[in-house]
């Protein structure tokens, strides 16, 4: 198998997506053991409209192992970090690739990647429930980690979330807190 170096992978992303699509990029080298072997971690920040294309490049390169989506609430934006790794199967060849993107809270839309990587469904559903991010193309499925009757519009892991309102009597509808 033909393995690309981290620098070459980075170059590939820059060439395919264009300079304007990439917000930030860096390669980290980590050292381990007495023999001081190294492994590399790549971080690439892309604009949301180029995000799907970035994942496509990765899938063409080597079908990646998808780990998880980390969501971060940064004031008016939500940052999503997708953790992938490629080139597994051989000693010391694996490279971790983290693709991150920033979504404005007014427009929390990002295309789903479940058509490319079906295993991402669990994580997309979790991010949808916890942060209210809408994954375009993800079928509408019941809540995975929150109760099925959890009030809509309440996103527990957002930092500005006030929580669920007080339920006074049995017949009351549960509302968003204030």
Partner 1 sequence: MSNKTYSIPIGPVHPSLKEPMTFHFEIYGERIEKVHLAPGDNHRGIEFMGRQRNPIQIIYLAERICGICSASHPFAFCQAVENAMGIEVPEKAQYIRAIIAELERIHSHILWAGVAAHELGFDSVLFLSWRAREEVLDLLEYLTGNRINYGIFMIGGVRRDITSEQITRIKKTLDYYKEIYGKLEDIFLNDPTIALRTKKVGILSKEEAIQLSAVGPTARASGLNKDVRQDQPYAAYADLEVQAITPEVYSGKVNGDVYDRIVVRLLEIVQSIQIIEQCLANLPEGEIVAEEKLVKLLNLIKKAQGEGIGRHEAPRGEVIHYVKLNQSELPEVWKARAPTYNNLMPWIPMLIGQQIADIPIVLASIDPCIACMDRVTILDRKSGQKNILTKDDLHKLSVEKTRRMAQ
Give yes or no for residue 83 binding partner 1 (CB under 8 A).
yes
Q: Does 93 bind partner 1 (CB under 8 A)?
A: yes
Check binding of 63 to partner 1 (CB under 8 A). Answer: yes
Report the distance separating Cα 86 and Cα 126, nearest Å: 23
145 binds partner 1 (CB under 8 A): yes
Tokens of 43: 């971080």
142 binds partner 1 (CB under 8 A): yes
Do the Cβ atoms of 105 and 160 come closer than 8 Å? no
Cα(80)–Cα(128) distance, rounded to whole angstroms? 11
Spatial contact of 43 and 100, defined as CB atoms under 8 Å apart: yes
Restricted to residues 31-50, the positions that interact with partner 1 (CB under 8 A) are: 31-35, 37, 39, 41, 43
Least separation in angstroms between CB 68 and partner 1: 4
Residue 146 makes contact with partner 1 by CB under 8 A: yes
Indicate if the alpha-carbon torsion angle 178, 150, 103, 69 is positive or negative.
positive
Beta carbon of residue 116, minimum distance to partner 1 (angstroms, whole number)? 9
Helix (H) or strand (E) run with residue 176 in it:
none
Task: Report the residue from 19, 91, 107, 170 that binds partner 1 according to the rule CB under 8 A.
Answer: 91
**In angstroms, rounded to a whole number, what is the distance separating the alpha carbons of residues 173 and 151?**
9
* Contact positions vs partner 1 (CB under 8 A): 28, 30-35, 37, 39, 41, 43, 63, 65-68, 70-72, 74, 81, 83, 85, 87-96, 98, 117-123, 142-148, 156-157
């Amino acid at each position: 198998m033909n393995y690309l170096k981290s620098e070459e992978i980075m170059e590939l992303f820059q060439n395919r997506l264009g300079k304007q699509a990439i917000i930030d990029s860096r390669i980290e080298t980590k050292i381990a053991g007495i023999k001081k072997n190294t492994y590399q971690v790549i971080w690439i920040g892309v604009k949301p409209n180029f995000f799907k294309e970035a994942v496509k490049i990765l899938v063409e390169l080597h079908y990646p192992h998808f780990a998880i989506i980390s969501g971060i609430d940064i004031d008016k934006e939500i940052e999503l970090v997708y953790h992938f790794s490629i080139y597994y199967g051989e000693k010391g060849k694996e490279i971790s690739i983290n693709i991150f993107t920033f979504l404005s809270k007014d427009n929390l839309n990002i295309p789903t990647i479940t058509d490319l990587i079906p295993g991402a469904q669990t994580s997309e559903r979790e991010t949808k429930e916890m942060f209210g991010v809408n994954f375009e193309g993800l079928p509408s499925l019941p809540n995975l980690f929150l109760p099925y009757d959890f009030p809509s519009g309440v996103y527990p892991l957002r930092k500005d979330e006030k929580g669920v309102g007080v339920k006074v009597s049995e017949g009351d509808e549960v509302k968003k807190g204030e």
